[in-house]
């Protein structure tokens, strides 16, 4: 099955291509109307099979005296079709098809009723009732008006002993498809299921979603509306309005203003017109056009409406059943009567067409012709007659009857009774069942299937129509819709043909609401239609990068929405880096202070034998300076991209090293106190001083801090913290210190040591001595306390790299405070006042003459 379908698609491709390479352009004159102004809407014909040869001359008398009415047009098609059948030796040998009609019944229903009453009396057209030996059977053929068709069908089939097949060549109507109530009624046209699909595909192609609809208020219009709604709902297309135009003219006229206002006030630029030829809908369309109501109209060729204004910037598109070209029709008509059917009279038959070359120059020439010469110019070209859909249905109806007769006659010929060497009037009584099942290929290659359940879906030609001078309607084929192609490729439109016919490929828009572009989302209120909406900007850090998005999309944590909110941009990583000016400045300060401290250490080492160095305990001095060097280097751990190792080392390293520094200061303070408080009887105090017990303060205090840090690591170790929310467009990368309790425990322990050192130094500030450090230690501890008391509120009020910078500055400030307050005065004396760095000076200012080396 798949192979067959694929083969069918490939076989259709050349046909699609040739349809665009050799496009058909047709023109027609507006229809003639009868004296009352009513358009002809269909006629009744009786098709008969006779056992005698019938030539073309047999049909001539039907047309020589006729006016150019609709019955005239359809009669010519009937005659042409029957002559084709009669000349086919393989179809109906020894049998001919003829037809009869009365022109009076091509109007409205009352005329039909009068005709039936008159003819029932003389049996002029009774089915299968014949006064002539050669007549075999009759098949009724009626037009587009379904009410007279049903009336005629009912009357003719009141003869219970006979079956009277009845064909219609008009538009498909759901009422006539009821085979239970009308078993002998057959419609040549197919329903419009594919038409609804074709219209929806056409609308989707031009991205319209707000469509107006005007249809006849009857069963046919209701069924089409059902098909169309089903396709529109699947593709998010909405109906701006639905005008159900009454079939009754008086009722329509009473409401005409309402229908006009409905379409006039609607924002829909595209309107679908669907109804029967000659209906009130066609009248309504002409009225809207005459009032200057310009819309892009979409209709069917069966409705047979044309735009009334040349300067309509929108235009009219028409969908018509696709069928092959029937050649030879013009030659047939002209040979009936060369005088009556001259080229000028043929133009009045409204079916002329010519092959157009897609040439801008020729199209411009055609447009610029004056009204007086346009028809003359057209008549100089080679014309052929084209079949309307009704004409084509008549053509197929004739071949349907012929094929059914062929099947009945030649498959069951041996069973037919015989009387006097002639076949009796028997075949027509058995036409009903095979007619419903017959299927064949007509001469132009189209497949005809009378079985409604097995009927193929229709293909549709798409035309663009505009008004030409002298009432000519110019029609250009611009595309084709075929339901046999895969979904999405069923519609084939030629952009070149559209541009050639309309002068531009730009189509008007028809949407309820303008598209919500990128950066916006659709916001629909409850009372709004599905196609109507407002546009709302996306919330902060959300984007929409497509048109008409229902919801905005939240950007990932590592990205942020740009200004237009249509793209997510990667966030910049924010941390205190060496490339940053602040990071570079702080790192240089750290290295500078560290180097300066190393210089101070070098000075003290070089002058280690001088009294001022000996008087301040050289070992503690060296330990304090070394610890300060490493404290100044600690900020380098805070600069650069944080990782797990650096985050752990930052707090632990600084906490331990600064504990060493503070505990060393505490040891120096205790040493000073012991040195100046020792007297001769106090041997125990002197023992503590001389044995260096104060040196044990440093490891003991440091061990306590190490234990505190170890507990913190075990409970909640520091880690890398990524903050993507605090600052728009940036990701802040910092070290999370872990447990707040642990962090404050480390700082609290340092604060305790600092406070003890400050207290002891403050109490011993007035002790005598040339190089008493109590005052220096007091000032250094005061600086340290001030720095870290200030640090806490500032630290918690900042974020990101500024927060890290605050901690670095606090480390540098507290360390430099100790360096400056304790060591700078001594360096000044060593380098610039060496006369004061002597034992004599110490003895003069130290009554106890005690010093510690």
DSSP 453-464: GGPPPPPEEEEE
Task: Give the pLDDT of residue 476.
Answer: 84
629 or 287, higher pLDDT = 629
Task: Give the pLDDT of residue 660.
Answer: 92
DSSP 697-741: HHHHHHHHHHHHHHHHHHHS--EEEEESSSSTTEEEEEEE-S-HH
| C-alpha pair distances (Å), 119 with each of 102, 105, 167, 673, 735 | 11, 12, 20, 147, 107
CB 379 within 8 A of CB 473: no
CB 533 within 8 A of CB 550: no
Task: Give the pLDDT of residue 370.
Answer: 46
Is pLDDT of 383 > 60? no
Q: Which of 132-141, 636-645, 770-779 has the lowest mean pLDDT?
A: 132-141
| C-alpha pair distances (Å), 261 with each of 239, 309, 437 | 16, 20, 48
Q: What does the alpha-carbon distance between residue 599 and residue 647 come to, in Å, rounded to a whole number? A: 30
Q: Which of 411-425, 450-464, 771-785, 810-824 has the lowest mean pLDDT?
A: 411-425
Q: What does the alpha-carbon distance between residue 764 and residue 324 come to, in Å, rounded to a whole number? A: 121
Is pLDDT of 9 > 50? no
CB 167 within 8 A of CB 141: yes
Residue 422: in which H helix or E strand, if any? strand 422-423
Task: Give the pLDDT of residue 142.
Answer: 83
* pLDDT level of residue 411 (50, 70, 90 thresholds): low
Mean pLDDT of 646-660: 89
Is pLDDT of 110 > 60? no
Task: Give the pLDDT of residue 109.
Answer: 47
What percentage of residues in the chain have a pLDDT greater than 90? 17
Task: Give the pLDDT of residue 387.
Answer: 73
Reading the block at residue 67, the tokens are 């006016």
Match 């349809």 to its residue by tokens: 19
Is pLDDT of 845 > 60? no
CB 723 within 8 A of CB 734: yes
CB 853 within 8 A of CB 618: yes
Q: What does the alpha-carbon distance between residue 851 and residue 672 come to, in Å, rounded to a whole number? A: 9
Is pLDDT of 124 > 50? no
Mean pLDDT of 730-759: 86
Task: Give the pLDDT of residue 40.
Answer: 45
Is pLDDT of 93 > 50? yes
How far is residue 761 CA from its own chain's centroid? Answer: 79
Reading the block at residue 767, the tokens are 């002790």
- Identify the sign of the CA torsion 389, 390, 395, 401: positive
Q: What does the alpha-carbon distance between residue 750 and residue 441 come to, in Å, rounded to a whole number? A: 105
- Phi-psi domain of 279 (left: phi exceeds 0; alpha: psi -120 through 50; beta: other): beta
Residue 837: in which H helix or E strand, if any? none
Highest mean pLDDT among 8-12, 201-205, 315-319: 201-205
- Work out the number of other CB atoms within 10 angstroms of the CB of residue 205: 13
Among 143, 194, 150, CA closest to 169: 143
Q: Which of 302-311, 462-471, 559-568, 674-683 has the lowest mean pLDDT?
A: 674-683
- Identify the sign of the CA torsion 195, 200, 201, 205: positive
CB 112 within 8 A of CB 148: yes
Among 457, 461, 437, 459, CA closest to 449: 437
β pairing state of 270-274 and 210-216:
parallel
Is pLDDT of 129 > 50? no
CB 301 within 8 A of CB 144: no
Q: Give the bridge partners for 559, in sequence order.
A: 570
CB 721 within 8 A of CB 735: yes
Mean pLDDT of 534-562: 89
Is pLDDT of 596 > 80? yes
Q: What does the alpha-carbon distance between residue 16 and residue 481 come to, in Å, rounded to a whole number? A: 10
Highest mean pLDDT among 28-32, 72-76, 351-355, 491-495: 491-495
The string of pLDDT tens digits covering residues 565-579 is 999 999 888 888 898
542 or 52, higher pLDDT = 542
Task: Give the pLDDT of residue 416.
Answer: 45
How far is residue 545 CA from its own chain's centroid? Answer: 11
Helices and strands counted in the chain (H then E): 26, 29
Is pLDDT of 377 > 70? no
Task: Give the pLDDT of residue 278.
Answer: 66
Task: Give the pLDDT of residue 193.
Answer: 82
Helical ranges in 55-206 per DSSP H: 57-60, 70-86, 109-122, 146-156, 193-205
Where does residue 316 rank: exposed (0-12), middle (13-18), buried (19+ CB within 10 A)? Answer: buried
Task: Give the pLDDT of residue 770.
Answer: 47
Q: What does the alpha-carbon distance between residue 801 and residue 638 come to, in Å, rounded to a whole number? A: 10
Task: Give the pLDDT of residue 780.
Answer: 87
* Phi, psi dihedral angles at 734 (to 5 degrees): -135, 170
Q: What does the alpha-carbon distance between residue 240 and residue 263 come to, in Å, rounded to a whole number? A: 9
Reading the block at residue 316, the tokens are 């009219």
Is pLDDT of 296 > 50? yes
Among 806, 736, 728, 799, CA closest to 572: 728
Mean pLDDT of 816-826: 89
Mean pLDDT of 285-304: 82
* Phi, psi dihedral angles at 208 (to 5 degrees): -90, 150
Is pLDDT of 546 > 70? yes
Match 């008087």 to its residue by tokens: 615
Q: What does the alpha-carbon distance between residue 155 and residue 532 come to, in Å, rounded to a whole number? A: 53
- Phi-psi domain of 583 (left: phi exceeds 0; alpha: psi -120 through 50; beta: other): alpha
Q: What does the alpha-carbon distance between residue 615 and residue 767 come to, in Å, rounded to a whole number? A: 14
The string of pLDDT tens digits covering residues 473-514 is 677 888 999 988 888 889 999 888 887 777 777 888 898 888
CB 418 within 8 A of CB 64: no
Task: Give the pLDDT of residue 395.
Answer: 92
Task: Give the pLDDT of residue 679.
Answer: 46
Among 101, 463, 114, 505, CA closest to 318: 463
The string of pLDDT tens digits covering residues 693-736 is 667 888 999 999 999 988 988 888 888 888 887 777 888 888 88
Mean pLDDT, the chain, whole residue set: 76
Mean pLDDT of 29-50: 57
Entry pTM: 0.65
Among 48, 70, 32, 73, CA closest to 138: 48
Task: Give the pLDDT of residue 650.
Answer: 87
Q: Which domains does the chain have, with CATH numbers?
A: 41-191+324-358+386-454 (3.40.50.2300), 520-570 (no CATH), 581-845 (1.20.1070.10)
Q: What does the alpha-carbon distance between residue 535 and residue 532 come to, in Å, rounded to a whole number? A: 10
Among 265, 266, 262, CA closest to 284: 262
Q: What does the alpha-carbon distance between residue 435 and residue 651 come to, in Å, rounded to a whole number? A: 99
304 or 416, higher pLDDT = 304
CB 464 within 8 A of CB 498: yes
What SS3 class is residue 651? helix
**For 295-308, what is the HEC assignment?**
CEEEEECCCCCCCC
Among 150, 153, 173, CA closest to 163: 153
Q: What does the alpha-carbon distance between residue 487 and residue 787 come to, in Å, rounded to a whole number? A: 77
367 or 829, higher pLDDT = 829
CB 472 within 8 A of CB 350: no
Mean pLDDT of 444-456: 81
* pLDDT level of residue 16 (50, 70, 90 thresholds): very low
Q: What does the alpha-carbon distance between residue 837 and residue 231 come to, in Å, rounded to a whole number? A: 106
CB 139 within 8 A of CB 162: no
Task: Give the pLDDT of residue 32.
Answer: 41
* pLDDT level of residue 159 (50, 70, 90 thresholds): low
The string of pLDDT tens digits covering residues 298-313 is 998 877 666 655 555 5
* Phi, psi dihedral angles at 163 (to 5 degrees): -105, 130
314 or 777, higher pLDDT = 777
Mean pLDDT of 147-151: 71
Mean pLDDT of 168-181: 80
* pLDDT level of residue 272 (50, 70, 90 thresholds): very high
DSSP 366-389: HHH--HHHHHHHHHTS--EE---H
Integer Rg of the chain from CA: 53
Is pLDDT of 605 > 70? yes
CB 144 within 8 A of CB 187: no
What's the length of the chain?
853
């Amino acid at each position: 099955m798949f192979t067959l379908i694929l083969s069918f698609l490939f076989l259709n491709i050349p046909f699609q291509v040739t349809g665009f390479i050799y496009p058909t352009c047709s023109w027609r004159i507006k229809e003639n109307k009868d004296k009352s102004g009513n358009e002809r809407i269909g006629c009744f014909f009786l098709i008969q099979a006779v056992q005698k040869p019938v030539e073309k001359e047999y049909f001539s008398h039907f047309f020589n005296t006729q006016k150019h009415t609709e019955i005239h047009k359809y009669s010519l098609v009937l005659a042409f079709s029957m002559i084709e059948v009669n000349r086919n030796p393989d179809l109906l040998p020894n049998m001919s098809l003829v037809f009869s009609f009365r022109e009076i019944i091509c109007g409205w229903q009352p005329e039909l009723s009068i005709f039936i009453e008159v003819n029932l009396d003389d049996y002029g057209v009774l089915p299968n009732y014949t006064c002539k030996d050669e007549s075999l059977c009759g098949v009724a053929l009626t037009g587009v008006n379904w009410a007279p068709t049903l009336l005629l069908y009912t009357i003719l089939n009141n003869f219970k002993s006979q079956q009277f097949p009845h064909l219609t060549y008009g538009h498909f109507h759901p009422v006539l498809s009821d085979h239970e109530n009308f078993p002998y009624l057959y419609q040549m046209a197919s329903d419009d299921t594919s038409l609804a699909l074709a219209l929806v595909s056409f609308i989707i192609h031009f991205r319209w979603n707000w469509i107006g609809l005007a249809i006849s208020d009857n069963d046919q219009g209701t069924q089409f509306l059902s098909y169309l709604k089903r396709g529109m709902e699947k593709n998010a297309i909405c109906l701006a309005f639905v005008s159900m135009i009454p079939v009754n003219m008086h009722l329509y006229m009473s409401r005409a203003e309402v229908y006009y206002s409905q379409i006039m006030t609607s924002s829909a630029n595209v309107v679908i017109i669907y109804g029967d030829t000659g209906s009130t809908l066609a009248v309504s369309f002409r009225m809207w056009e005459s009032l200057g109501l310009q819309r892009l109209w979409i209709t069917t060729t069966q409705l047979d409406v044309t735009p009334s204004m040349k300067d309509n910037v929108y235009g009219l598109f028409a969908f018509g059943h696709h069928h092959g070209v029937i050649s030879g029709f013009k030659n047939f008509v002209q040979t009936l009567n060369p005088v009556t059917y001259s080229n000028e009279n043929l133009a009045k038959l409204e079916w002329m067409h010519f092959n157009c070359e897609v040439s801008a120059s020729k199209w411009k020439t055609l447009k610029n012709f004056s009204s007086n010469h346009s028809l003359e110019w057209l008549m100089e070209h080679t014309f052929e007659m084209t079949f309307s859909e009704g004409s084509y249905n008549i053509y197929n109806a004739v071949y349907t009857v012929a094929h059914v007769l062929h099947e009945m006659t030649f498959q069951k010929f041996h069973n037919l009774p015989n009387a006097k060497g002639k076949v009796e009037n028997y075949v027509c009584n058995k036409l009903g069942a095979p007619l419903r099942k017959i299927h064949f290929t007509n001469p132009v290659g189209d497949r005809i299937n009378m079985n409604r359940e097995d009927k193929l879906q229709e293909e549709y030609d798409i035309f663009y129509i505009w008004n030409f001078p002298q009432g000519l309607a110019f029609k250009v084929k611009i595309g084709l819709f075929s339901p046999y192609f895969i979904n999405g490729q069923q519609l084939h439109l030629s952009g070149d043909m559209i541009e050639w016919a309309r002068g531009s490929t730009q189509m008007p828009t028809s949407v309820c609401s303008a598209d919500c572009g990128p950066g916006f989302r659709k916001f629909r209120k409850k009372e709004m239609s599905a196609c109507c909406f407002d546009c709302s900007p996306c919330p902060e850090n959300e984007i929409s990068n497509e048109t008409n998005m229902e919801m905005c999309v939240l950007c990932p944590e590592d990205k942020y929405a740009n200004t237009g909110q249509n793209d997510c941009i990667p966030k910049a990583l924010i941390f205190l880096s060496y490339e940053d000016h602040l990071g570079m400045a702080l790192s240089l300060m750290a290295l500078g202070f560290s180097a300066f401290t190393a210089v101070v250490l070098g000075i003290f080492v070089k002058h280690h034998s001088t009294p001022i160095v000996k008087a301040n305990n050289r070992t503690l001095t060296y330990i304090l300076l070394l610890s300060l060097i490493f404290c100044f280097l600690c900020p380098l751990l805070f600069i650069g991209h944080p990782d797990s190792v650096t985050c752990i080392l930052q707090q632990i390293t600084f906490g331990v090293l600064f504990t060493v520094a503070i505990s060393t200061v505490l040891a120096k303070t205790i040493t000073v106190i012991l040195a100046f408080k020792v007297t001769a009887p106090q041997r125990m105090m002197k023992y503590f001083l001389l044995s260096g017990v104060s040196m044990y303060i440093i490891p003991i205090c440091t061990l306590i801090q190490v234990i505190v840090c170890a507990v913190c690591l075990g409970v909640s170790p520091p880690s890398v913290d990524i903050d993507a929310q605090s600052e728009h467009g940036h990701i802040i990368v910092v070290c999370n210190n872990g447990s707040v309790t642990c962090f404050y425990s480390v700082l609290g322990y340092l604060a305790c040591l600092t406070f003890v050192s400050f207290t002891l130094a403050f109490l011993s500030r007035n002790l005598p001595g040339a190089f008493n450090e109590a005052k220096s230690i007091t000032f250094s501890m005061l600086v340290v306390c001030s720095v870290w008391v200030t640090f806490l509120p500032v630290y918690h009020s900042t974020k990101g790299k500024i927060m890290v910078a605050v901690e670095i500055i606090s480390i540098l400030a507290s360390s430099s405070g100790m360096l400056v307050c304790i060591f700078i005065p001594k360096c000044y004396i060593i380098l610039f006042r060496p006369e004061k760095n002597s034992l004599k000076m110490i003895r003069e200012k130290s009554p106890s003459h005690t010093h510690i080396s």
